[in-house]
């Protein structure tokens, strides 16, 4: 059975989504399908933005496995004509931005002083990261599409169906908001502000509307085309789906009702709404939704300071319908899970490979191996050896896995840099050694005797067996407490990877010296 045939039955969520796109393309007679992701540049791009592009790209790649004869495009669309509603908390020159509230983001000065506007700055940040990761996409600006006339035909279609759009949206609004709601938001020619005012169609054929200016009270007529107006976002979303003929777009669970309303508007415009996927939101360490304006949670740059991009892609792939906390402590686990999936891939059958996240992270071109040493082990090695550079770590790795080098295992070489950075910023500041109590000291003495009796090249499993035997002898009713004591006394932390594996990597002689120092309380000043 070919990979394509296997993918037809795969239960991996990306193939379930891709099959929906294939069915839509066949139904609508599409030779090329359009995938889209949306981005609001009202704040610095955050990791959730990357997640949407990464996940959509995975679905797109799965689509091409299922339908290799069809073409596709991925449009990353920036809603940069939206009015600035509030000043984000995590940017400089907030007072300056406050003077430009309600103006389109592309008309708001860049607080960083680097680009033409605030939107241009944030768009550039987004594109730079997507480019560095190698995503295949087309960037699109709302401002450019509105002002160039690219949306004109569909905007006229919205005006023709003005009442139908109103009938869809008004029942979802409170009484006061209903009085002023309109899908069209005129741009004030005097101030450049996006106006939220009631409008009335005057000349539908020529796209002319009338409204009362909120400041002067004057009755003003304007076109809805050429960038003189933009749409409220639910209508805007629907208009975009229609104008760009979008076939697939996913969205956060918090937008589920908006997706339904925009789909109804799309149908009112005579188009078929795209297929979609509702994913759960990312939360920060406190369980609060990550926000661009608050700047809470991890940034793209922060994750990539301490871990490779492959680990971030894995975090995005796994359980997208489950709300997950996104903060620094999740990084080591994500890295090691990525290594595990890579190591297992070659021994899997086709169905298992298509369910393996590494297939989707690498679009089928999965590396043969990632690393013979886990990230957690590297972190503990940095801790025990007080390493300040990767050459020290490679000295241990070379003894642990002869023949392993930066040239043969470039991913592991990258991990050594990440381990040093992560340890320096997150592990070292929180390390707290404690003294061994009387029973623990006896157990450590016993462990020393056993380990010194082993050959210097004993492997991790052999060492782990001795550690376990000591635990059974001294802590039969509390084995977990024994392993916790090892980490607290010897490494200044409450948990870690298998201690036998660590000892094999660190070296038996050095491990014995570490145990001796911990037993005698010499690590307390470390």
Question: Distance between alpha carbon 152 and the CA centroid of its chain, in Å?
Answer: 34
The CATH number of 438-519 is which of 1.10.1530.10, 1.10.10.10, 1.10.10.350, 3.40.50.970?
Answer: 1.10.10.350
Q: Is 292 annotated as a binding residue?
A: yes
pLDDT at 304 over 80: yes
> In CATH terms, is domain 3-279 a member of 3.40.50.720?
no
Weakest mean pLDDT among 111-125, 235-249, 388-402: 388-402
The whole-number pLDDT of residue 297 equals 62
Highest mean pLDDT among 46-55, 125-134, 240-249, 421-430: 240-249
CA within 13 Å, CB half, 137? 28
pLDDT reading at 60 higher than 90:
yes
Closest CA to 262 of 233, 286, 287, 288: 233
Q: Which residues contact 375 (CB under 8 A, 6 or more apart)?
A: 307, 332, 335, 336, 339, 415, 418, 419
3-state secondary structure of 341: helix
Q: Is the dihedral of CA 352, 353, 356, 360 positive or negative?
A: negative
Residue 242 predicted with pLDDT over 80: yes
pLDDT per residue as tens digits for the range 148-168: 999 999 999 999 999 999 999
Tokens standing for residue 49: 């933005």
Residue 445 pLDDT level (bands cut at 50, 70, 90): very high
Q: How confident is the model at residue 291 (pLDDT cuts 50, 70, 90)?
A: low
As a whole number of angstroms, the distance between CA 237 and CA 38 comes to: 9
Round to whole Å and give the CA distance between 247 and 271.
11
DSSP string, 243-297: HHT--B--EEGGGHHHHHHHHHHHHHTT-PPPB--EEPPEE-TTSPBP-TTTT-S
Is the predicted pLDDT of residue 225 greater than 60, yes or no? yes
Tell me if residue 455 falls in helix, strand or coil: coil
What is the dihedral sign for C-alpha 221, 226, 228, 233?
A: positive
What's 308-320 look like in SS3?
A: CHHHHHHHHHCCC
Would you place residue 129 in the very low, low, confident or very high pLDDT band (cuts 50, 70, 90)? Answer: confident
One DSSP character per residue, 206-257 reads TTEEEEE-TTT--EEEEESSTTSEEE-HHHHHHHHHHHHT--B--EEGGGHH
């Amino acid at each position: 059975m070919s990979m394509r045939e296997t993918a037809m039955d795969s239960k991996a969520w990306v193939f379930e989504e891709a099959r929906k796109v294939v069915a839509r393309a066949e139904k609508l007679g599409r030779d090329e399908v359009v995938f889209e992701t949306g981005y609001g540049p009202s704040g610095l791009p955050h990791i959730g933005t990357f997640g949407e592009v990464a996940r959509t790209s995975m679905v797109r790649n799965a689509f091409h496995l299922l339908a290799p004869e069809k073409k596709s495009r991925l449009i990353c669309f920036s809603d940069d004509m939206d009015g600035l509603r509030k000043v984000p908390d995590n940017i400089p020159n907030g007072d300056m931005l406050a003077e430009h509230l309600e103006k389109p983001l592309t008309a708001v000065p860049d607080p960083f002083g680097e680009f033409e506007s605030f939107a241009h700055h944030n768009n550039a940040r987004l594109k730079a990261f997507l480019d560095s990761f190698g995503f295949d996409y087309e960037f699109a600006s709302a401002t450019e599409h509105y002002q160039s006339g690219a949306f004109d035909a569909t905007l006229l279609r919205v005006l023709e169906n003005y009442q139908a759009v109103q009938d869809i949206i008004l029942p979802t609004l409170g009484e006061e908001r209903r009085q002023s709601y309109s899908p069209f938001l005129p741009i004030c020619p005097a101030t450049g502000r996006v106006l939220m005012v009631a409008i009335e169609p005057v000349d539908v054929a020529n796209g002319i509307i009338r409204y009362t200016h909120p400041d002067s009270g004057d009755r003003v007529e304007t076109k809805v085309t050429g960038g003189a107006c933009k749409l409220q976002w639910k209508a805007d979303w629907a208009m975009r789906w229609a104008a760009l003929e979008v076939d697939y777009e996913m969205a956060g669970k918090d937008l589920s009702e908006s997706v339904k309303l925009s789909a109804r508007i799309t149908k009112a415009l005579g188009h078929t709404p795209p297929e979609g996927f509702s994913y759960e939101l990312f939360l920060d360490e406190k369980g609060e939704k990550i926000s661009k304006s608050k700047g809470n949670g991890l940034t793209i740059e922060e994750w990539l300071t301490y871990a490779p991009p492959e680990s971030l892609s894995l975090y995005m792939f796994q359980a997208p319908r489950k709300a997950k906390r996104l903060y620094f402590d999740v990084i080591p686990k994500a890295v090691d899970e990525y290594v595990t999936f890579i190591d297992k891939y070659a021994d899997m059958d086709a169905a298992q490979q298509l369910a393996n996240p590494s297939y989707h992270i690498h679009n089928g071109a999965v590396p043969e191996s990632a690393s013979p040493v886990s990230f957690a082990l590297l972190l503990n090695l940095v801790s025990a050896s007080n390493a300040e550079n990767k050459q020290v770590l490679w000295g241990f790795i070379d003894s642990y896995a002869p023949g392993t080098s930066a040239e043969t295992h470039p991913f592991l070489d990258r991990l050594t840099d990440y381990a040093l950075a992560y340890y320096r910023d997150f592990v070292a500041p929180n390390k707290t050694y404690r003294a061994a109590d009387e029973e623990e000291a006896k157990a450590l003495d016993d462990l020393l005797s056993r380990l010194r009796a082993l050959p210097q090249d004993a492997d991790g499993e052999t060492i782990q067996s001795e550690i376990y035997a000591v635990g059974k002898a001294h802590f039969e009713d509390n084995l977990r407490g024994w392993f916790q004591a090892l980490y607290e006394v010897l490494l200044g932390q409450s948990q870690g990877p298998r201690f036998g594996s660590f000892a094999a990597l660190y070296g038996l002689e050095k491990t014995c010296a570490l145990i001796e120092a911990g037993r005698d309380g010499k690590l307390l000043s470390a």
